[in-house]
Amino acid sequence: MTKETLLMQYQFESLSALKSVANIHQPFKKTFMDGSELTFPVFRLLNRLSQKAYSSISLLYFSISRRLLLILQHKNINVSKTTNLIENFMNLVDRFLHYVSFDTQSDELTHMTPSTPGQMIFAQELEKELRKIGMTEVSLDENGYLMATLPSNTTKNIPVIGFIAHLDTSPDLSGRHVTPRIIKNYDGNDIPLCLEENIILRTEDFPEVKKYIGQDLIVTNGKTLLGADDKAGIAEIISAMEHLIQHPEIKHGKIRVAFTPDEEIGQGPHKFDVKKFGAEWAYTLDGGEIGELEYENFNAAIAKILFKGRNVHPGYAKHKMINSLRIANQYAIMLPRWETPEHTEGYEGFYHLISCEGTVEQTTLTYIIRDHDRDRFERRKKEFEHLVRKINKEFPNCASLEIKDQYYNMREMVEPVMHIVDLASQAMKEVGIVPIVKPVRGGTDGAQLSFMGLPCPNIFAGGHNFHGRYEFVPIQSMEKARDVVIQIARLAAEK
């Protein structure tokens, strides 16, 4: 994000917030000018700051807004609605906009934890923020696992619960220089993301966006992903913890939070210390649209098939050349055409070719294998073995296969403690959401954590079209996710 873009964005949002307050309180019009006088000297100062200072712009905006509230209170203006408006913006939306400025793409090729340095930089920033809002037992280990505690504020014996989100974004598309834009009061039309490259979020291609007419959407500039998966989840959890700290009248037990690296490459829980976390159960905030509540996910594996060929000058290659690229293509078309992500939904599994790299001499195909049913999952892996044998029968010793399981369906670990799903469902109803209980067509850290002894259903974070340039998140969905976390904490204390 360039300096100019950041400054324009925050000037616009600052004025928008101030004008919204002015519209609520007619006596505030003169105070609005006072607020502007406070705001613009700060932005003039920002123009002279070094690039490293820009990650703190949102924090400066926090202080501007808080000072504005003090002016209102000093002038004896009723600020209850104003406080809600500005606090929501500061604590959730602006927090999220700050988080997406960090480049935290994971990379399975580094064989490190975290797999990229940006994740540790982001974790260090969150560590400071958790301490600042009043969380205790804040710890960040050498592998990038960040944990913290909100102590119980009641003498009742209440189970320790946890909330988890992941630091990294998908390696499928760049997460560097993310430039989010807020579409206020979405009108239901196509959304231009990058006109110069004709990148448009078309309602014909993404009809679900029309569910949010009249709401405020955060979208990309069409050149990167947004990072709502899972920085929306992080913002929602921290905002919920801050709300509980500021409202001690809401009784709750001990709450643990954790932010993990490398979820997008299937390694998030690999070095997660369940004993240290110390929760009886937890929830990941890593789901999609508002209302999603999930305790079933894919069984997952990754398969790599290596094809070895033999290169000879093409002019003299008859009966000599073995083209590994052509053999790899032959293998790919032997898999069922309709059992791919673009042709499946619900409980239907698939084979997904995610990478093809090669030359005449050597080609590697990389697939992910997914199915909710364990028996079908095992059969899919057997099919890969069968096709490799078939290829090798025609081209002896040409193909070799490596399959590695990634995670399993958490349903078998969650069903014995279904009360934790019921609790989340009740929390959603308490804030006016109809729960959408359905299987995850993917995986979460919770899948692996459930098999490590920490049952961990998944709750919506609010975003859509993850891992791509058409990703968006409605602000109102993020607010509801935050409220669900608060309600789960409250309801757990009442049981």
Cα(495)–Cα(266) distance, integer angstroms: 34
End-to-end CA distance of the chain: 47
For CA atoms 244, 248, 249, 251, give the dihedral sign: positive
- State both tokens at 241: 């913890």
Question: Which one of the listed residues 103, 127, 242, 263 is annotated catalytic?
Answer: 263
Cα(300)–Cα(377) distance, integer angstroms: 8
From the centroid of its chain, how far is CA 316?
Answer: 53
Contact of 464 with 471, CB cutoff 8 Å: yes
- State both tokens at 245: 């700290």
From the centroid of its chain, how far is CA 295?
Answer: 17
Q: In what order do the strands lie in the sheet with 161-166?
A: 136-140, 146-150, 255-260, 161-166, 281-287, 458-460, 292-294, 436-437
Cα(144)–Cα(166) distance, integer angstroms: 10
Candidates 203, 180, 177; CA nearest to 191 is 203
Cα(141)–Cα(43) distance, integer angstroms: 36
Contact of 151 with 73, CB cutoff 8 Å: no
Candidates 240, 260, 264, 262; CA nearest to 252 is 240
Candidates 395, 99, 406; CA nearest to 270 is 406
Please count the residues of the chain: 495
Q: Say how many C-beta atoms besides its own lie within 10 A of residue 44's C-beta.
A: 10
Q: Say how many C-beta atoms besides its own lie within 10 A of residue 293's C-beta.
A: 22
Q: How far is CA 104 from CA 53, 95, 198, in A?
A: 19, 16, 27
263 catalytic? Reply is yes
Angle at 99 between CA 132 and CA 129, to 5 degrees: 5
Q: In what order do the strands lie in the sheet with 181-183?
A: 181-183, 217-219, 472-474
H or E stretch covering 150 = strand 146-150
Question: Which one of the listed residues 94, 127, 129, 168 is annotated catalytic?
Answer: 168
Q: Say how many C-beta atoms besides its own lie within 10 A of residue 379's C-beta.
A: 13
204 catalytic? Reply is no
- Classify residue 367 by its DSSP letter: E
H or E stretch covering 284 = strand 281-287
Show which residues are catalytic.
168, 263
